[in-house]
Amino acid sequence: MSFHKFADNAELIAFARQHSPVFAPAAVLTVEEISDGNINYVYRIKSDQASVIVKQALPFIRIIGEGWPLSQDRIRIEAQSLQRAAELCPAQVPQLYYYDAARCALVMEDMGDHQNLREALLAERVVPQLAAHLAHFMARTLFYSSDFYLDSHQKKALVKDFINPDLCKSTEEVFFVDPYCDHERNNIHPALQTAAAEMWQHAALKCEVAQLKMQFLCQAQALLHGDLHTGSIFVTEQSSQVIDPEFGFVGPIGFDPGVLIANYLLSYCALGQMAGVSAHYRQGLRQTIADLWNGFTAQFDQLMASDTRDASFKQASYRQYYLQQLLADTLGFAGTEVIRRTIGIAQVAEWQAIDNDAAVGVAKGQALALGQQLILQRRTLGTIEAMLELLDN
């Protein structure tokens, strides 16, 4: 079958009915398009009893159109990544019911009772289990796809299965190129024009960004989610579910925790400029960042000690060295995510949630400065607590 976009609701309903176990044969189904990301088409198909999500990848980026082609192989990557994660942390990913290579589509569990984490943070919702769940998710998905656990042949096979050049290329551009020059894709708030122009002249910063880019290009450490921002996570008080691993590839381990921490920092900066937001809630965000990092590294260290096959990597002194490097990488990638979400093409909903434009400029200015500090000080900060000291209160 040659590829075509689902033509109408009837096609979507037939596809969902055929490829999921949730609908009674006589159930009347409806379709709602819920695509709120940048890239794909996403639909909720529901009866009065049950619902599923259908996601379809077109051969270009949805928000840009045919001017930015994008391989549809990304939906295979997403399906396989969800399956791997389901084996390692079944409570943290939605169930995949079906993947259709010809339609470039998948059918998966609907998490209708969950809220998008980005929206939850904007609504000052407390999500008590989140740090523990995501520390567990990152530690297990990253450790068990790394050379600490896999043997050499398994690891190379994994690299091959998750070659994802188009999606990686898009990250290479939007993270490591656009924000560091006067690129037409940038979207720079007027209050940040001077600071951005100064950054473009900052030779030491640009050298650090080049180092991070080279790591992203060729440091094949573990299978990443590849886009682990707060919009890729859905939560309730008891549950945290990670979606959208279409940017997955075998890359530097610090990228996933870096992106996640960066998005908490973006929320922190934005909430600081919103009327009525409590200092207590923002303090809670700082604590979540510390809990995420400390929980993740404690579990990763434990797995290195118990499940690493090569004895040389089990040594306590090597583990300590490795995790220190990982903090530096994580803070560097966090800095690049903060910067690109502040002045680049794909920004975050937090900025639109601030109701006065001068305050948007202040919040974005803080984020731009913080992103640069993270990149420049990533090797010297030493602890996540020292990084949090960079934040205002």
Which spans of this chain sit near Mg ion (rule: CB under 5 A)?
37, 244
**CB 116, min distance to Mg ion, A:** 11
174 binds, among Mg ion, ligand SR1, none (CB under 5 to 8 A by kind): ligand SR1
**CB 246, min distance to Mg ion, A:** 7
**Position among 52, 54, 61, 304 found at the interface with ligand SR1 (CB under 6 A):** 61
Q: Which residue, 100 or 173, has its beta carbon nearer to ligand SR1? A: 173
**CB 255, min distance to ligand SR1, A:** 12
**CB 187, min distance to ligand SR1, A:** 12
170 binds, among Mg ion, ligand SR1, none (CB under 5 to 8 A by kind): ligand SR1
Cα R_g (the chain), whole angstroms: 21
Is 346 a residue that touches ligand SR1 (CB under 6 A)? Answer: yes
Q: Determine the residue with CB nearest Mg ion.
A: 244
Distance of CA 118 to the CA centre of its chain: 11
With CA atoms as reference, report the closest residue to 46 among 36, 25, 32, 56.
32
**CB 15, min distance to ligand SR1, A:** 24
Is 81 a residue that touches ligand SR1 (CB under 6 A)? Answer: no
**CB 39, min distance to Mg ion, A:** 6
89 binds, among ligand SR1, Mg ion, none (CB under 5 to 8 A by kind): none
Is 127 a residue that touches ligand SR1 (CB under 6 A)? Answer: no
Q: For 55, list phi and psi in degrees, rounded to 5.
A: -125, 135
Q: Which residue, 146 or 342, has its beta carbon nearer to ligand SR1? A: 342
Q: In terms of C-beta distances under 8 Å and separation of at least 24 residues, what long-range contacts does 242-245 make, across chains too?
A: 242/85, 242/92, 242/93, 242/134, 242/137, 243/93, 243/94, 243/111, 244/37, 244/78, 245/77, 245/78, 245/81, 245/82, 245/85
Distance between CA atoms of residues 318 and 304, nearest Å: 10
* SS3 per residue for 45-73: EECCCCEEEEEECCCEECCCEEEEECCCH
Q: Which residue, 183 or 314, has its beta carbon nearer to ligand SR1? A: 183
Distance between CA atoms of residues 303 and 305, nearest Å: 5
How many residues bind to ligand SR1 according to rule CB under 6 A? 10
- Tokens encoding 240: 């945290």
* b/e map 86-120, b = 16+ CB within 10 Å: eebbeebbbbbbbbbeebbbbbbbbbeebbbbbbb
Q: Map tokens 């008891």 to a residue.
A: 238
Residues 135-174 that bind ligand SR1 (CB under 6 A): 170-171, 174
Q: Is the dihedral of CA 19, 25, 31, 37 positive or negative?
A: negative
Is 178 a residue that touches ligand SR1 (CB under 6 A)? Answer: no
- Per-residue binding string, ligand SR1, 183-202, x by CB under 6 A, is --------------------
Q: Which residue, 38 or 211, has its beta carbon nearer to ligand SR1? A: 38
- Per-residue binding string, ligand SR1, 26-55, x by CB under 6 A, is -----------xxx----------------
Q: Which residue, 244 or 329, has its beta carbon nearer to Mg ion? A: 244
- Tokens encoding 305: 């000690």
Distance between CA atoms of residues 132 and 146, nearest Å: 21
**CB 301, min distance to ligand SR1, A:** 29
* SS3 per residue for 79-101: HHHHHHHHHHCHHHCCCEEEEEC
Distance of CA 161 to the CA centre of its chain: 20
**Position among 78, 178, 208, 227 found at the interface with ligand SR1 (CB under 6 A):** 227
Interface residues toward ligand SR1, by CB under 6 A = 37-39, 61, 170-171, 174, 227, 345-346
